[in-house]
Amino acid sequence: MSDITRTKCLIIGSGPAGYTAAIYAARANMSPVLYTGKSPGGQLMITTDVENFPGYPDGVMGPQMMEDLRKQAERFGTDIRYSLISKVEFSEDLHKAYADNGDEIHADSIIISTGADAKWLGLESEKRLANKGVSACAVCDGFFYRGQEVAIVGAGDSAAEEASYLAKLCPKVHMIVRRDTMRASKIMQERVINNPNIIIHWNTETEEVLGEEEVEGVRLKNNKTGETSEIAVKGFFVAIGHKPNTDIFKGMLDMDEASYLVTQPDSTKTNVPGVFASGDAQDRIYRQAITAAGTGCMAALDAEKYLEAKGAH
Ligand code: NDP
């Protein structure tokens, strides 16, 4: 027999959006139940210094910030459960959700804050050598390649940030950029361009990650000249963006073409009454910890209003 939990507010996800929603919902006496998902703390757990979250004048480490948020949510009585919600059923009255640990949850309202996951290039060699030198998290795995040569693919803020991080550990970081320009913000671009440990390969694509048992190198192709070349590296990092974790809502909630949840203007309401979306799962534009926290707050306030109107709070 599975356990059935009845709650006014189920929160799915434990990044800045989920924990902020929990803080607001708990303080509004909604007794929220929060399921962390498979990566408690979300993407900030794989970040080092967060320097742009207001209130931390000296910066804060991502994992530390998430621990602080978790403690703050717990302090007001959030029931935090370390499992993944893998199925939902929405209905007019009571929504149902099912967790991997066998829990069944019946909720008057649901706040979705499932975040996003790293994207991969899709090469066979990348898959085969995953965790054997191929990584989507420089901050988690960079340490293993201290003093060695590494490569990183991507040209957004993530790639620039991770390249700078790797350059503190590694004497040579090859940054593989597929165009002749970078998408990263000016300040981040300047940091990588001016870093003597970072070599930028413009107009370059990865043909293959080389190595049998572990990464030994990368074969690159210049997409202007067609020329191929090989570089010897021990670590191969991919930082090419993210995919929202919204698969379990397909066919139930409105999404855009990239699978981000669609919310109504100036609100966190989805197309299903009582279901609200916050954080990176619904934000393809800003995707910052502070904006995720902001929409988490909005979702809790929207959920509270919804429960009041329904007479459930
Ligand atoms: P982005 O979507 O901004 O950038 C993805 C990068 O990967 C682009 O340069 C893109 O190239 C490249 N790319 C995509 N697919 C491939 C591929 N198949 N092969 C090679 N390159 C590829 O993702 P980010 O994760 O960098 O950033 C996401 C959001 O988070 C952004 O809004 C960013 O500003 C923000 N962010 C902010 C930070 C901060 O403020 N400290 C830190 C990190 C992220 P192309 O440009 O050619 O499309």
Domain end position, chosen among 238, 259, 293: 238
pLDDT band at 2 (very low <50, low <70, confident <90, very high): low
Closest residue (by CA) to atom 37 of ligand 1? 157
* Cα distance between residue 154 and residue 159, in whole Å: 5
Q: Is the pLDDT of residue 49 over 90?
A: no
- Do 189 and 202 share a structural domain? yes
The answer to whether 296 and 16 have CB atoms below 8 angstroms apart is yes
> pTM to 2 decimals?
0.76
Domain end position, chosen among 221, 238, 255: 238
- Do 81 and 92 share a structural domain? yes
- Do 84 and 159 share a structural domain? no
The answer to whether 307 and 30 have CB atoms below 8 angstroms apart is yes
- Do 41 and 105 share a structural domain? yes
- Do 140 and 111 share a structural domain? no
pLDDT tens-place string over residues 204-245? 999 999 999 999 999 999 999 999 999 999 999 999 988 999
- Do 228 and 160 share a structural domain? yes
- Do 22 and 88 share a structural domain? yes
CATH of the domain at 37: 3.50.50.60
pLDDT band at 3 (very low <50, low <70, confident <90, very high): confident
Q: Is the pLDDT of residue 4 over 90?
A: yes
Domain that holds residue 38: 4-117+243-310
Residues having CB within 6 Å of any atom of ligand 1 = 52, 121, 153-159, 161, 178-179, 183, 240-242, 287
pLDDT at 286: 84
Helix or strand holding residue 63 (H, E): helix 62-75
* Cα distance between residue 280 and residue 67, in whole Å: 19
Closest residue (by CA) to atom 18 of ligand 1? 121
- Do 232 and 125 share a structural domain? yes
- Do 252 and 232 share a structural domain? no
Distances (CA, A) of 271 to 13, 90, 267, 303: 20, 11, 11, 14
Domain end position, chosen among 238, 268, 291: 238
In the reported structure, the alpha carbon of residue 116 is separated from the centroid of ligand 1 by a whole-number distance in angstroms of 13
* Cα distance between residue 52 and residue 65, in whole Å: 12
- Do 132 and 59 share a structural domain? no
Mean pLDDT for the stretch of residues 277-305:
94
Active-site residue numbers? 137, 140-141
Closest to 217 (Cα-Cα) out of 266, 250, 174, 162: 174
Pocket test for ligand 1, best of 46, 152, 158 (most atoms within 8 A of CB): 158
In the reported structure, the alpha carbon of residue 162 is separated from the centroid of ligand 1 by a whole-number distance in angstroms of 11
- Do 233 and 284 share a structural domain? no
Residue with tokens 């935090």: 80
What DSSP line would sit under 171-219, residue for residue?
SEEEEE-SSSS--S-HHHHHHHHT-TTEEEETTEEEEEEE-SSS--EEE
pLDDT tens-place string over residues 97-150? 999 999 999 999 999 999 998 899 999 999 999 889 998 888 778 988 999 999
Alpha helices in 265-312 (DSSP H): 289-310
- Do 167 and 233 share a structural domain? yes
Average pLDDT, the chain: 95
pLDDT tens-place string over residues 11-33? 999 999 999 999 999 999 999 99
pLDDT band at 91 (very low <50, low <70, confident <90, very high): very high
Residues 6 or more apart whose CB falls under 8 angstroms from that of 152 comprise 138, 159, 162, 163, 166, 173, 174, 175, 176, 236, 237, 238, 239
